[in-house]
Chain A
Amino acid sequence: MHSTETLRSHGTACPATSADGGCTDDQIAGDGYTCRFEQGARPESLILNMGPQHPSTHGVLRVLLELDGEYIVRAEPVLGYLHRMHEKMAEVKTPAQFMPNMGRVDYLHALAWNWAYVGAVEKLAGIEIPERAEYLRVITCELNRISSHLLWWGAYLLDLGAFTPIMYAFDDREMLLDLLQLMTGSRLTYSSFRFGGVYTDAGPAFVQGVRQFIPHLRSRLPMYTALVTENIILRRRIEEVGVIPQDMVTRYGASGPVARGSGIAYDVRRAEPYSVYDRFDYEIPVRHEECSMARYMVRMAEIEQSLRIIEQAIESLPEGEHMHPKAPKPSFKLPAGESYFAVEGARGKIGVWIASDGGKTPYRVKLRAPGFSNLALFAECARGTLLADAVAILGSLDMVIPEIDR
């Protein structure tokens, strides 16, 4: 944290800043970001460094804030602390070898990333997928979405100072993870979709478990509502806080519950139906309040809708193979060309674009992370709000930093 004192002693501009804006010698004055950020500060304001190790920034997001008393004058998210070069890794690994990376981009909805990548590769290479595998993908991906929303729910309330809800969320989430473990072998960083199918076939234990889980979670949701959603402290804390008007959503390209909380009914599953999503009957929850509470309500409603999809999919799960008999060997080569595949993740539109020159490894892979666009609007959205509200806004965006940094 830089006190007003240090700022004033330097004047408004950091002396260690060279003409091109980078720090030259006096590193104590701060890193390049801080130096640049400080230049615009008014003399009476306070520069605050929130993060990168801050419990409410979920991982290692750093936000530079200029405060006037308790109010935010400017906010600037600083990214890159979790940059792991996933896109570069995709260029040096064969598609099959890159698959495990996709479980680690967004650890909360790993299967959506699995899907985006296998989808792009399958599209480019013209690989067919058996029907059963499509259903299994839908079921596991939706289960994963629920687990992501449950974790967000618990962690968001933790940010806002409520400790118990995360215990309930994790109780239910554990059951979910047990089910996903049957299918994927892991509990968080799944790598289970394969080009031309899925890794494991669903056994009776999984089908039975899912059938039991759906009524169980449904019976818990009213408790969630009574415990948290109707709680007056929460309502006062997040209602009408962090208003994101529709034009801000479109300007920054936000998607997922952030867009749907602002009245934009955009969901990739509906807008560009992939796989077998068009066979199920479900709604896209939309709220028009544009505030943090609206995003909260959208996610809670999405849990119910995901349960609906899973219910229909598990009842109509076709018999057959879980891997196409002509699924390629791990050493297969991508044909030259480009492809793009988008799926709806828990945080919004996940897109993978692959360009291949016919070599062993793709020429370039671009990962479109929804969290990046969603976070981008934070600077504008947080202006003029209270510092404590900034935490409520950040949480309502549901960020997964490794996904943003990639």
Chain B
Amino acid sequence: MASIFRTLADLWSLVVGLGITGKEFCKPGVTVHYPRAEVTPEAAASFRGPIELIGLDKDPAKPKCIACMLCVSACPSNCIAVTRAPTPKPTPEELKAMAEAEARGEKPKKPAPPKAPGTWTYDFSLCSLCGSCVEVCPVDSIGFSHDIYMVGTRREDFVFDQLARLARKAAARKAEPKKAAPEAASAPAPAPETAATPASEA
């Protein structure tokens, strides 16, 4: 007799489980049905997407980067390659000044290379999104983008020319005046507030 009751009690646990499943079945779904729906930008705001360069406040198409190469050496996976912009050819006046200085026995003052990158490439296929580069950059020129839907069919699709990408993004933002206004107001922090910009606070 006791064993019958026990079996019934045991079987009841299955009914309870079915009841829970039935209740959940009637509730609305919780998943985002990509591609019919996409994750909201707010939800992606704190996500570390591929890194991007951050433009100057007054000229968003030009990066803040001063080509110090700190990010290149901090990156664990050698994703970043930066070259300095070429030194401009000295103007005739500068050439003359240099020649005069040499004649006087002084060290001629050569024009310094500009503190700006000539090329800035980034290989997303190697990147582990660790954030070392973002942390180390002294002028906060690197940030995480939030492009979470990114596809490519070849490896090269993920090697980005960041200078071109920045210019493209800046142009796109310009073409969209409605969106540009609030973003320009918060220009120093290009990523939404939840995104990590700890280097400045540390």
8 A Cβ contacts from B183-202 to A: 193-196, 198, 201-202
The segment from B124-132, B150-158, B165-173 found at the interface with A is: B124-132
Contacting residues, chain A, for B136 (C-beta < 8 A): 329-330
Instruction: Report if A185-B16 is in contact (Cβ < 8 Å); known contacts: A174-B30, A178-B43, A330-B135.
Output: no
Bound CA–CA A174/B132 (angstroms)? 26
8 A Cβ contacts from A95-123 to B: 96-101, 103-104
Bound CA–CA A96/B20 (angstroms)? 48
Contacting residues, chain A, for B13 (C-beta < 8 A): 226, 230-232
Determine whether A322 belongs to the interface, using a CB cutoff of 8 Å to chain B.
yes
Bound CA–CA A168/B135 (angstroms)? 37
Determine whether B11 belongs to the interface, using a CB cutoff of 8 Å to chain A.
yes
Report which of B20, B76, B201 forms a contact with A323, defined as CB distance below 8 A: B201
Structural contact, B21 and A186, CB atoms closer than 8 A: no
Nearest B residue (CB) for A234: B13
Min distance, Cβ B131 to any Cβ of chain A, angstroms: 6
Interface size class of B (residues with CB under 8 A): 20 to 34
Determine whether B160 belongs to the interface, using a CB cutoff of 8 Å to chain A.
no
Number of interface residues of A (CB under 8 A): 45
Min distance, Cβ A340 to any Cβ of chain B, angstroms: 23
Structural contact, B17 and A185, CB atoms closer than 8 A: no
Interface string of A202-235 (1 = CB under 8 A from B): 0101000000000000000001001110111100
Report which of A97, A178, A203 forms a contact with B193, defined as CB distance below 8 A: A203
8 A Cβ contacts from A323-346 to B: 323, 325, 327, 329-331
Extra 14 A-B pairs, beta carbons < 8 Å, given A185-B129, A191-B131: A96-B74, A100-B129, A168-B24, A185-B131, A186-B47, A191-B130, A194-B135, A199-B196, A203-B193, A226-B13, A227-B17, A231-B13, A323-B202, A330-B136
Taking Cβ atoms with an 8 Å cutoff, the residues of A that contact B are 93, 96-101, 103-104, 164, 168, 171, 174, 178, 181-182, 185-187, 189, 191-192, 194, 197, 199-201, 203, 205, 223, 226-228, 230-233, 321-323, 325, 327, 329-331
